[in-house]
Amino acid sequence: MNDGAFVDFFLNTASLPDQNSIVSALQSMTKKKIAVRFVSKFLSTDLHPHNRRIVEVYLNINQLHGKSDDMSRVTTAASRYERIKTVGKGAFGSAVLYKKRDDGSLVIVKEINMYDLDSVQRQSALNEVNLLSRIDHPNIISYYDSFEEDGILMIEMEYADGGTLAQYLAKSQTFLSEEIITDLMVQMLSAVSYLHDNSVLHRDLKTANIFLTADGFVKVGDFGISKIMGTDTIAQGAKTVVGTPYYISPEMCCGEPYNQKSDMWALGCILYEMTCLQKAFEGDNLPVLVNKIMNCMYEPIRGPYSSQIKLLVRELLLRVPEKRPTASEALTMLRPSVNVQRPRSFRPVSTFISTVYTFSASTISLHPVQNFPEKVSVRQISVSETHQLILTYSNEVYAWGQNSKGQLGMGDRVDRKTPFLVPTLRGRDVHSVSAGNGFSLFSCDRGAVLACGCKRFTGLGKGSDDVLRPSLVNALLRVNVVELTCSYEHCIALTEENECFVWGSGECGKLGTGDSQHVYDPTKITVPTSVGRVITARCGIDATVLLTETGHLIAMGSNKYNKLNLACRTGFFSKEEKVNVECFSLPTVMKTFPARAIDVDVGRNNLAVILESGQVFFFGCNSHGELGLAHTDVVPLCHMRPVKSLLSKPCSMAYCGDGYSLVGTTESELYFWGSKGIVRSSIATLQNLDDTKDVAVVQRVANEEKAVSRWGVKRKEKLPAVEHIVPLPALILRLDSDLSEYKIRLSMINGRGENVFVVIDSSNSKSIINTSENSPNDNDSTIVNTWLKNEFENAEIIPMSAQKRKAGKGRNSSVASDDIKIQMSESALMKEIESLKSAISQQSSTFQGQQDQMTALQEKLLELQARQAYLRNHEPPPAYAKKTILFPENGSKTCSIL
């Protein structure tokens, strides 16, 4: 035995009562310097100085026979994860940071020694695992996997690389902007609302348990003492006093039963701390602190914040729990909800007209469709790579584009470059239209379905020919179709009886039939019923998504780039299995979102989901920045975050283009991000673009030709190929309709491939005013009453001297000059008031001098009110609009004097 040797004892308990005696006895048996260790953590990698598991020091795991599945899971994890560092240690365990080798994502693995815990602490640790496994929200720390071996509980969870909110506030030297506070608070309220809706109390909300990511997302964590609310808890409230003293509610201080309103109190304390950079309730000892909490004694907010923020703090810190708002109510107070489910028309059919534009991603511009019919109200537009269809509110169908298969329904194969009315559909009550590549579908009254175009996709059978005029789909005559949609080469029909029929290409399993075979006739498929009735469908080039009445999504087809968000993340301790996550040939329920999904768009490589809350989620490829994350890196699996730049915008429509994304809001704003295309530019142009904040330039390395040909002739150098990428949502269109007489709004976005169309509705309110009763004809002869006519003819002429007339003019001019002087001084006074307001709002780090400024501002406001009162007392009566002349003008001398 050499110096520095180790003598290790493997224990199945945490420790031995006579460890010291054993160590002394062994060391006295030799003159060598040896170390004696008692090891109970067989799988821990923190064993000094080896920094690897003790079993790997003595045993070759690969040659062990009958090794357990748990051990194989650990060795599999070592091959898939790289250990980075220990980020934290506590009394009962440690937290180790690992990096996943395949996608570079970081995870935290908590290692908790269960032998060092008492029964209550062990229950707390297991409770955290239980809760995390049930929770799935973008603003809550995600749980990935857990594993227990030899008394060591390991929990794998999401890593928040931005620290905690407490650390962020401690570093802040000046007041946070209201925009930042609102952004953080909205995310916290969204997470807490989700917890409460799922009957979970957090019970330990504080700034130290609010984690942040590097890109500014909030992650609520530390669910060790959270409680699942059962029937008794909801009715009577919880009773165990837990949590941090600075954030506990008055009812918890009194030992009274509490419920989710105690979490709202804690959020009020957090909001106060963000606005004042200090805790709402502080005291030298616990009795003083409890007394302040019981009496709601906190300093008023003095920072430069709106009354909306201050009101929310006051409402959250009310003494009576029942008076505090719920999380959803507080969310509405902070960000007023809007109905993002846009109606099919915001005015009656006769009061607005539609204009259709084509969208160009390379130039970020809109161009009106040539020869588009005038005074048309667009109800629906459907776009394919070959042609376009438009349905109006007057029940007319317009079509244009290629017509080689008869897909325009005109009865011929002649292409149309501009919109033409489809004569074969006149007189039919068309409910919806849908355009595919080389075919068209029409849903009519009583659930009838018409089809025309390519024989492979019309649903009329395998032996049919191309259909040049819309014809009935016989296979659907016995059902009442309420929703009809198609994409490039497949179709979906939903019936009144909650049945789903499919036909067309089954490539990638997008039909949900269980295989990839082509289906010529409408075929019924089985759809999961556990998430409610299917109300609409969206089709892409290789995938299909069904939307249910409960706001859940059911997907089938290609999951390339995980655009359907169906791939499950392989846990740290899970066995490495080869599972096909590229294609799902059967309808599969997608993960639940924080709110009800109300609309979906399925692109070639991406998927967009609009929620009832106005948030928008994007999934899939990010090589061109399509996800709006300000980078083009690969996104790890289970990435479920809304577009952060649009959190404050009520998003209502989205489109997934080829390499870019479009989102429209209920405020008639249109946002763009992603690739504008690949072009060849000079070095000077690249340098100019690099200076532009909103555009990133990515140089694509292509297989360029050699500089010298095989004949020795020098080739002409090509300009470098660059891709212009807009990394974050950029506003490209805003439609303002503040004028009461004119209304304009963004109506819809639709497209396929390079064919993208934007519909804008406009309305002139004057057209809806009925003027027939208020505007008599000027040619009408109006009869004047006899008594009035006699009064004018017999009126006495009262002469006025020139001196009085001149004096009257002088008085009027002096009064007018005084009014002008007062108005000029009022303008200067307004400027002084605005400058004082600006000085007060810019004061962020100190309150010195604020009282004097506030006093001066009050004096100026009083002076302004006095001046305005003077003007009101001396101003002439309001001028009335000129009335319609009721009788011919009388040019007599009497009328001239009057």
What pLDDT score was predicted for residue 764? 63
Tell me if 724 is assigned to some domain.
Answer: yes
Do residues 361 and 675 make contact, with C-beta atoms less than 8 angstroms apart? yes
- The three-class DSSP label of residue 448 is coil
Which domain-ending residue is among 285, 318, 334?
A: 334
DSSP per-residue string spanning 20-69: HHHHHHHHHT-SS-EEEEEE--TT-S--TTT-S-HHHHH--GGG-TT--H
Tell me if 490 is assigned to some domain.
Answer: no
For the chain, give the percent of residues with pLDDT over 70. Answer: 70
Tell me if 854 is assigned to some domain.
Answer: yes
What pLDDT score was predicted for residue 691? 47
Q: CB burial class (10 A; 0-12, 13-18, 19+) of residue 878?
A: exposed
What pLDDT score was predicted for residue 339? 43
List, in sequence order, every residue forming a beta bridge with 227; answer none if it has no partner: 201
Lowest mean pLDDT segment, chosen from 330-339, 389-398, 875-884 = 875-884
CATH code: domain of residue 131: 3.30.200.20
CATH code: domain of residue 678: 2.130.10.30
The C-alpha atoms of residue 539 and residue 511 are separated, in whole angstroms, by 10
Residues 888 and 825 in one domain: yes
CATH code: domain of residue 195: 1.10.510.10
Whether the pLDDT of residue 30 is over 70: the answer is yes
- Strands 218-220 and 397-401: what pairing? unpaired
The C-alpha atoms of residue 860 and residue 826 are separated, in whole angstroms, by 10
- Strands 742-752 and 519-525: what pairing? unpaired
Residues 758 and 612 in one domain: yes
707: phi > 0 → left, psi -120 to 50 → alpha, else beta; which?
alpha
Tell me if 667 is assigned to some domain.
Answer: yes
The C-alpha atoms of residue 750 and residue 357 are separated, in whole angstroms, by 11
Most confident range (mean pLDDT) of 131-145, 198-212, 508-522 is 508-522
Residues 173 and 289 in one domain: yes
Higher pLDDT residue, 719 or 455?
455
Higher pLDDT residue, 407 or 23?
407
The C-alpha atoms of residue 19 and residue 114 are separated, in whole angstroms, by 20
Lowest mean pLDDT segment, chosen from 111-115, 189-193, 590-594 = 111-115
Whole-number average pLDDT of the chain: 77
The C-alpha atoms of residue 864 and residue 861 are separated, in whole angstroms, by 5
- The three-class DSSP label of residue 244 is coil
What pLDDT score was predicted for residue 849? 62
Amino acid symbol at 363: T
Max intra-chain CA distance, the chain: 144
pLDDT digits (tens, 9 = 90+) for 151-190: 777 788 888 888 899 999 999 888 999 989 998 998 999 8
Whether the pLDDT of residue 774 is over 50: the answer is no
Tell me if 425 is assigned to some domain.
Answer: no
**Residue 604 phi, psi (nearest 5):** -65, -45
What pLDDT score was predicted for residue 794? 60
Whether the pLDDT of residue 695 is over 80: the answer is no
Tell me if 579 is assigned to some domain.
Answer: no
Indicate the DSSP class of residue 813: H
Residues 822 and 696 in one domain: no
| Whether the bond into 49 is cis, omega within 30 of 0 | yes
Lowest mean pLDDT segment, chosen from 194-203, 467-476, 799-808, 851-860 = 799-808
Tell me if 192 is assigned to some domain.
Answer: yes
Q: CB burial class (10 A; 0-12, 13-18, 19+) of residue 502?
A: buried
Query: At 434, is the pLDDT very low, low, confident or very high (cuts 50, 70, 90)?
Result: very high
Residues 314 and 234 in one domain: yes
Residue among 832, 816, 809, 826 nearest 867 (CA): 826
Cα-Cα-Cα-Cα torsion 793, 795, 796, 798, nearest 10 degrees, comes to -110
Amino acid symbol at 222: D
| Residues catalogued as catalytic | 204
Give the number of domains in the chain.
4
Residue 9 contacts by C-beta under 8 Å, 6 or more apart in sequence?
22, 36, 37, 38, 39
Whether the pLDDT of residue 667 is over 70: the answer is yes
Do residues 513 and 503 make contact, with C-beta atoms less than 8 angstroms apart? no
Residues 193 and 153 in one domain: no
Which domain-ending residue is among 278, 301, 334?
A: 334
The C-alpha atoms of residue 250 and residue 258 are separated, in whole angstroms, by 10
Query: At 410, is the pLDDT very low, low, confident or very high (cuts 50, 70, 90)?
Result: very high
What pLDDT score was predicted for residue 127? 72
Residues 762 and 811 in one domain: no
Q: CB burial class (10 A; 0-12, 13-18, 19+) of residue 168?
A: middle
The C-alpha atoms of residue 190 and residue 335 are separated, in whole angstroms, by 11
What pLDDT score was predicted for residue 427? 85
Residues 107 and 209 in one domain: no
Do residues 583 and 643 make contact, with C-beta atoms less than 8 angstroms apart? no
Residues 324 and 236 in one domain: yes
Do residues 443 and 380 make contact, with C-beta atoms less than 8 angstroms apart? no
What pLDDT score was predicted for residue 891? 45
Residue 215 contacts by C-beta under 8 Å, 6 or more apart in sequence?
162, 629, 630, 644
What pLDDT score was predicted for residue 851? 64
Higher pLDDT residue, 125 or 726?
726
Tell me if 278 is assigned to some domain.
Answer: yes
Task: Give the domain range for residue 818.
Answer: 802-842+849-897
Query: At 96, is the pLDDT very low, low, confident or very high (cuts 50, 70, 90)?
Result: confident
CA angle 887, 892, 895 (to 5 degrees): 70
Residues 208 and 328 in one domain: yes
SS3 per residue for 512-536: CCCCCCCEEEEEEECCCCCCCCEEE
Query: At 356, is the pLDDT very low, low, confident or very high (cuts 50, 70, 90)?
Result: very high
What pLDDT score was predicted for residue 869? 60
Residues 624 and 747 in one domain: yes
- The three-class DSSP label of residue 231 is helix
Which domain-ending residue is among 316, 334, 352?
A: 334
Residues 612 and 734 in one domain: yes
- The three-class DSSP label of residue 662 is strand
Whether the pLDDT of residue 370 is over 80: the answer is yes
The C-alpha atoms of residue 330 and residue 482 are separated, in whole angstroms, by 38
Q: CB burial class (10 A; 0-12, 13-18, 19+) of residue 879?
A: exposed
Q: 698 to each of 676, 680, 681, how far by Cα in Å? A: 11, 11, 12
Do residues 522 and 535 make contact, with C-beta atoms less than 8 angstroms apart? no
Helices (H), 677-764: 683-690
**What six digits make up the tokens of 534?**
């299917």
The helices-and-strands tally (H runs, E runs) of the chain is 17, 39
Residue 664 contacts by C-beta under 8 Å, 6 or more apart in sequence?
651, 652, 653, 654, 670, 671, 746, 749
Residues 121-125: what's their mean pLDDT? 73
